[in-house]
Chains A and B, each alone.
Chain A
Amino acid sequence: MTAGGRKSFPLLAGALVITWAMGGCITINIYFPAAAAEKAADRIIDEVLGKGSGAAPSTPAKP
């Protein structure tokens, strides 16, 4: 009983290590570029709101 447990230990450890390794591979694929997304959002939002460069000014003041 005890001897059988010892024999299967290395195999079990190997399997665990492989599972861990594959987890590492999956992690990279869900990378989301948060900073770039914020920058892109700001550019679009400012354009829609009519803020910043190149946007048409809203009703210019009368002289």
Chain B
Amino acid sequence: MNTRRSWSRLLACAACLLQLAGYAPAALPQSQADLQINTPAITGLREGLRQRHREQLRAYYENGAIGLTRDGLVAMRDANSIPLAQRQQVNALIAADNQDRLALYKEVARANNHPEWESEIRTTFAKRWIERVPEGWYYQDANGIWIRK
């Protein structure tokens, strides 16, 4: 009986020490340093997105033909505002942009040695895109409804 009690006490003490050891690093968060966003892969994606935005997509955001989705991508909002002959091309631009965006979220997670962060990175970007674009552009709210900023 006595030996059993002392064993369980010992176990409890060991477990408490383990818990303290586990929480100590949590109390000092990993350095709040910047995330790594300067790898060759990320730089290439940034440049591609910037160029496509400046040369082609910006005008469509401005007239409300396209908008930002709630999950960090771009989507067609009002196809009727685009001449029929150009619709195919705009759809291709949207697809290319979304491919780059998804690759970007994945690469940022990977460049920081946490591929499992991909979905959180994407959620962060989704919120920040909506926050950073100019007034008058369209975005989807949490229910998927288009809102004019």
Contact surface of A with B, Cβ cutoff 8 Å: 7, 10-11, 13-14, 17-18, 20-22, 24-25, 27-28, 31-51, 56, 58
Contact = CB atoms under 8 A, between A and B. Distances in A.
Contact of A49 (B35, B125, B132): B132
Contacts of A37: 35, 117, 120-121, 124
B133 interface: yes
B11 A56 contact: no
Contacts of A38: 124, 128
8 contacts: A13-B8, A24-B23, A33-B32, A35-B32, A37-B35, A41-B125, A44-B125, A46-B132
Interface stretch (B48-56, B75-83, B86-94, B141-149): B48-56
Q: What bracket does the count of chain B residues touching chain A fall in?
A: 35 or more
Given A44-B37, A48-B50, 10 more contacts: A17-B16, A25-B18, A28-B22, A28-B23, A28-B26, A38-B124, A40-B37, A40-B108, A41-B129, A44-B46
A42 B124 CA distance: 10
Nearest to B11: A14
Contacts of B26: 27-28, 31
Interface of B: 1, 4-5, 8-9, 11-12, 15-16, 18-19, 22-23, 25-26, 29-30, 32-35, 37, 46, 49-50, 53-54, 58, 104, 108, 117, 120-121, 124-125, 128-129, 132-133
Contacts of B22: 21, 24-25, 27-28
Contacts of A28: 22-23, 25-26
A50 B51 CA distance: 9
